[in-house]
Structures are given as C-alpha cells and as structure tokens.
C-alpha cells in the first residue's frame, strides 16, 4: 500500500503492546474531495439546523429563495431539502414551508454515505483518550489485511453538547498512521478537535475512501470505555464496527464504536427496491 501527502490531525485505538513511532514513509499533498451542488447545500443547511439557527416556528428559506440567493436550480435545492427530510431533520408543510424537527435528548443521525460519516465533525467533538501510537494487535491487523501484526492505534470519545455519545478505537495500517503523526490533537490525552479520523485520513491519502463495511451488534462495554462513557464496564451497549476501504478495495481504517444507550439513537431508512 502506498501513501503520499502532508500531515495534520487524527484518531485512535485500543490494544496490546505499545511500540515506538514509525519512521520512513512519504507523505502526500491534501486534496479536497468533490461534492455535488446539492450535497454542499444540504451540508450547509444541516449544520444550520443542528446549530439551532432555525427554531421550531422559524421556517427555513423557501426553495425559490435558496435557488435565487445561491444561483442554483430549483431541482438542486429540492434534492438538498429532501435529503434533510430523509434524515429526519426537517419536515415540509405544503403552503407553509420547511421547518426543523423538534429534537429530544438523544443524538440522532442517519448515515447514507461516506460524506455523512465525515460530517460528524459538524456537530460533535472528538476528545482523545489514548494517543496515536503503534501497537501489536493481531485481530485488527487481520481485519485490515496487513502482512504485519502492528497497527497504528488511537482511542477517543465523541461528545455532542457535552454528552458522551460513544467510545471509539481506531486501527490504521502503519503507513496511514504516519500520515497523521504530526496532528497535535492526537498526541495529548484530553485534547479535542472537531475533525474525524476518517476525514483527516481521506484528505491526506492519494486515493479516496469510498466504501464502509458495517456490522452492528450488542456487546459488553470494554473497561477502556467505562470512564469515557460514564458507565459501568461490561454493560451491554450498541457496538458498531466500520471497516473503510479505498477505491482499490484496500482496507484503510477499522473503527470500533461503543455507544451510550441513553444519548444515542441509530436509524436506517429502508425502501422497497425500484421505488
């Protein structure tokens, strides 16, 4: 696996023996990932809604207003609005407009793309639990398809409005870890950043992250996640594993997440094929 690029910030993981920092790989020039016009508008509106810019009685701009002020077609605006409707962030009332859905105490996101997962940086905070380091981790190395038992690992918790949502361990191929080695927020316990490990990694690789293989289960909370989530170790919680791959189908990141059952809700929208 070859990597190129310049290095800024990053993520984490849990596991066995800590090894010394790796040396030697080349680093690549970051490049911005492309977004369609409707996804860019949807992201902007999503951020505004989650920030509370539009109250329960304060409608969002109309399709016509957005089309005129942004220089977009009505179709593009409608697609962006429909994405927010599908995520459960807003609802539309014919003749009245589009309004934000009232939020309860649980954090709710709907994920339908890699961009949505990178978008966690819009309204959550990453807080470092264990700094980025090299570890022996046979299980993670196997899932990443490495020819070594060494991975770069980092662990953190993610918060929303001060509440702990999840405890996450991230395992990376050593070459990917070196791309993120100079990110200060990944080397000091307690440091915070709004970035996601996936977003940082995607910006520094010479190829795009395009796929995530996800598995969901209920599992006992590991000891390392008890203090970050303020729960007792061993408590059954929602566990979501995501194995990310690039355009060449090479695994580039393994993220294992344990979610706080009182602060997080997971939703998937299913449709009949062809509809």
For 121-131, the pLDDT digits (tens) are 567 889 999 99
CA–CA separation, 49 and 153 (whole Å) = 34
Does residue 109 carry a pLDDT above 70?
no
Confidence of residue 245 (pLDDT cuts 50, 70, 90): very high
Q: How do residues 148-199 score in pLDDT, each as one tens digit?
A: 999 999 999 999 888 899 999 999 999 999 999 999 999 999 999 988 898 8
Q: How far is CA 79 from CA 72, 84, 91, 147, 181, in A?
A: 11, 9, 14, 44, 39
**Residue 6 within a domain:** no
Q: What is the pLDDT of residue 21?
A: 40
**What percent of the chain has a predicted confidence (pLDDT) above 70?**
76
Same domain, 78 and 128: no
CA 163/CA 106 separation, integer angstroms? 10
Same domain, 50 and 63: yes
Range of the domain at 68: 37-100
Structure confidence at residue 143 (pLDDT): 96
pLDDT of residue 200: 87
Same domain, 178 and 251: yes
Same domain, 167 and 242: yes
Query: pTM for the full model?
Result: 0.61
SS3 sequence of 203-249: HHCCCCEEEEEEEEEEEECCHHHHHHHCCCCCCEEEEEEEEEEECCC
Q: Name the average pLDDT for the chain.
A: 80
Listed in order, strand segments (DSSP E) in the chain are 18-19, 90-93, 97-100, 107-110, 125-136, 150-160, 163-172, 192-193, 209-220, 236-246, 251-259, 264-267
Does 138 share its domain with 225? yes
The 10s digit of each residue's pLDDT in 189-232 is: 999 998 889 888 888 888 888 888 999 999 999 999 999 999 99
Is the domain of 176 the same as that of 87?
no
Give the pLDDT score at 29. 31
212 shares a domain with 151: yes
Around 192, how many Cα atoms within 13 Å sit in the side-chain half-sphere?
9
Q: Would the pLDDT of 111 be above 60?
A: no
Q: Average the pLDDT over each of 68-77, 79-88, 111-120, 132-141 and give the range with the smallest value.
A: 111-120
pLDDT bucket at 58, cuts 50 / 70 / 90: confident
Q: Do 196 and 257 share a domain, yes or no?
A: yes
State the average pLDDT over residues 112-124.
60
Residue 22: predicted pLDDT: 43
Percent of the chain with pLDDT over 90: 41
């Amino acid at each position: 696996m070859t990597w190129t690029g310049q290095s800024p910030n990053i993520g984490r993981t849990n596991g066995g023996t800590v090894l010394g920092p790796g040396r030697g790989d080349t680093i690549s020039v970051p490049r911005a990932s492309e977004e369609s016009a409707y996804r860019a508008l949807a992201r902007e509106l999503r951020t505004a809604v989650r920030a509370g810019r539009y109250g329960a009685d304060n409608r969002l701009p109309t399709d016509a207003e957005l089309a005129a002020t942004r220089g977009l077609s009505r179709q593009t605006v409608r697609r962006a609005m429909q994405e927010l409707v599908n995520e459960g962030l807003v609802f539309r009332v014919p003749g009245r407009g589009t309004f934000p859905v009232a939020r309860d105490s649980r954090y709710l996101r709907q994920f339908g793309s890699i961009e949505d997962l990178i978008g966690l940086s819009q309204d959550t905070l990453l807080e470092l639990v264990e700094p980025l380091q090299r570890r022996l981790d046979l299980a993670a190395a196997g899932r990443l398809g490495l020819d070594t038992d060494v991975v770069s690992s980092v662990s953190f918790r993610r918060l929303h409005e001060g509440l702990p949502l999840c405890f996450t361990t991230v395992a990376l191929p050593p070459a990917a870890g070196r791309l993120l080695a100079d990110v200060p927020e990944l080397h000091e316990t307690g440091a915070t950043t709004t970035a996601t490990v996936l977003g940082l990694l995607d910006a520094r690789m010479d190829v795009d992250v395009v796929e995530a293989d996800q598995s969901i289960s209920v599992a006992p909370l590991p000891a390392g996640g008890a203090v970050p989530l303020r729960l007792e170790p061993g408590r059954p919680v929602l566990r979501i594993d995501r194995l990310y791959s690039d355009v060449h189908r090479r695994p580039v990141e393994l993220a294992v997440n344990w979610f706080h059952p009182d602060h997080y809700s997971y939703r998937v929208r299913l449709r009949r094929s062809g509809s």
